[in-house]
Structure 1
């Protein structure tokens, strides 16, 4: 991870530095090459076991012989390593803080929020949360690194950081089917979202959270359990 130390007008980036990116690509490439090189030997050994899954593909690998087989599997291992490294980098939240905006990048998607729309920022477990002036959630993204790094970046540019976590945490209530305090449409969305959470469909769950927010409610998760609160005008 790397944080630049800019002047007031420059932005502060919190994410993988170039050196760490190179290490990730090199490390995954080496592992991929090694795995690919030994795939023919691993396949032969696996077929000696009393029971092994994917027996068909393993027999196919061992049916070929020659140096070219090792060359092909090694190259495939390299490609797999490069792909995995790219996925690791894409799946890691990258934050850019400036005097005017907070910009989030993850999974190829970019979110940008202007200072005047942000009331406070905090960590809820491993999730970075940005709140608006009415208590609405602008963003909730997994952030696996030390909170001090992002807290320093926000303080440097004058944003409000809540070290105690969510200022609205006491207002959350666990959702159960057909909660009477919620409109039928919100209950229907949360029911669909519960199914998405159980199926680990992260994209669908995130989209349904956005739909719930349009009705003036905030939802967060603990595994497949959902908790909700109404948007307010103050913590």
Structure 2
């Protein structure tokens, strides 16, 4: 379900704060500034090493000299640092919790899940998982915030939190190619997803997981090993 949370609701925001923004933008910006300023000197040192590749580009960087050249490169480094910080902020999961709904915001996409749809919430490693009444996974997203902060945020608004993790953990079965209990389509998605896990293709991993959910299969992984369980489609 998608939508928005009313600004009038009392809310708890978990996953991003002004302090986090200052650390990311300040840290990456400062690192880029310093690296940019000293880049010509670093290049001069690197070209003296016989095993260093890209000797041509390094010599080009080393050819820049003078205070203005250093300041310009430092400014470019600062800008690059800010760009990296903005990417990190965009990829940070922000969870807004109210008594009526939970909103997940990541990569510019918002997902709002109504309180009535949610049965249980828990952490699976670093992943925040929200289960629906039928055992469906309504959301599974990586969460970088401290576990205590996440737990406190949901409990503050009265959501059912599973401190023992996934209540369906004993129902998962290890997937092997052509598992007879799975449909031909599901097996094909699992094979494709295994390849995506090996390549660490995050986008494909998530998209294929969503396709399996549509077929009524919940899947989780440990490295490249996949585990599945069947649920009734809603």
Compute the TM-score of the two structures, normalised by the length of structure 1.
Answer: 0.91
Cα contact 2:15–2:145 (8 A) shared by 1: no
Taking the TM superposition and a 5 Å limit, the aligned residue runs for 1:73-84 are 73-84=73-84
Taking the TM superposition and a 5 Å limit, the aligned residue runs for 1:165-176 are 165-176=165-176
Q: In the TM superposition, what is the alpha-carbon distance from 1:110 to its structure 2 partner?
A: 1.5
Cα contact 2:15–2:143 (8 A) shared by 1: no
Equivalent in the alignment of 1:107: 107
Q: In the TM superposition, what is the alpha-carbon distance from 1:9 to its structure 2 partner?
A: 4.0
Equivalent in the alignment of 1:213: 213
Equivalent in the alignment of 2:158: 158
Equivalent in the alignment of 2:45: 45
**Take 1:168 and 1:186, find their aligned partners in 2: how far apart are those partners?**
20
**Take 2:84 and 2:222, find their aligned partners in 1: how far apart are those partners?**
28
> Structure 1, residues 196-215: CA drift from partner, whole Å, max 9, x if none?
11111101110110000111
**Take 2:186 and 2:20, find their aligned partners in 1: how far apart are those partners?**
43
* Match status 1:125 vs 2:125: yes
Q: In the TM superposition, what is the alpha-carbon distance from 1:84 to its structure 2 partner?
A: 1.8
Equivalent in the alignment of 1:33: 33
**Take 1:83 and 1:222, find their aligned partners in 2: how far apart are those partners?**
32
Q: In the TM superposition, what is the alpha-carbon distance from 1:92 to its structure 2 partner?
A: 2.0
Q: In the TM superposition, what is the alpha-carbon distance from 1:15 to its structure 2 partner?
A: 2.3
**Take 1:201 and 1:108, find their aligned partners in 2: how far apart are those partners?**
19
**Take 2:31 and 2:103, find their aligned partners in 1: how far apart are those partners?**
33
Q: In the TM superposition, what is the alpha-carbon distance from 1:146 to its structure 2 partner?
A: 2.1
Does the residue aligned with 1:119 lie in a helix, a strand or coil?
Answer: strand
Q: In the TM superposition, what is the alpha-carbon distance from 1:48 to its structure 2 partner?
A: 0.4
* Range that drifts further, 179-188 or 81-90: 81-90
Q: In the TM superposition, what is the alpha-carbon distance from 1:232 to its structure 2 partner?
A: 5.4
Does the residue aligned with 1:167 lie in a helix, a strand or coil?
Answer: coil
Structure 2, unpaired ranges of 5+: 1-7
**Take 2:68 and 2:177, find their aligned partners in 1: how far apart are those partners?**
59
Equivalent in the alignment of 1:224: 224
* Match status 1:148 vs 2:148: yes
Aligned length: 226
Q: In the TM superposition, what is the alpha-carbon distance from 1:145 to its structure 2 partner?
A: 2.4
Compute the TM-score of the two structures, normalised by the length of structure 2.
Answer: 0.91
Does the residue aligned with 1:78 lie in a helix, a strand or coil?
Answer: helix
Structure 1, unpaired ranges of 5+: 1-7
Does the residue aligned with 2:160 lie in a helix, a strand or coil?
Answer: coil
**Take 1:200 and 1:68, find their aligned partners in 2: how far apart are those partners?**
42
Q: In the TM superposition, what is the alpha-carbon distance from 1:68 to its structure 2 partner?
A: 3.2
The ranges of structure 1 where at least 4 consecutive aligned residues each deviate by more than 6 angstroms after the TM superposition are none
**Take 2:104 and 2:16, find their aligned partners in 1: how far apart are those partners?**
13
Does the residue aligned with 2:84 lie in a helix, a strand or coil?
Answer: helix
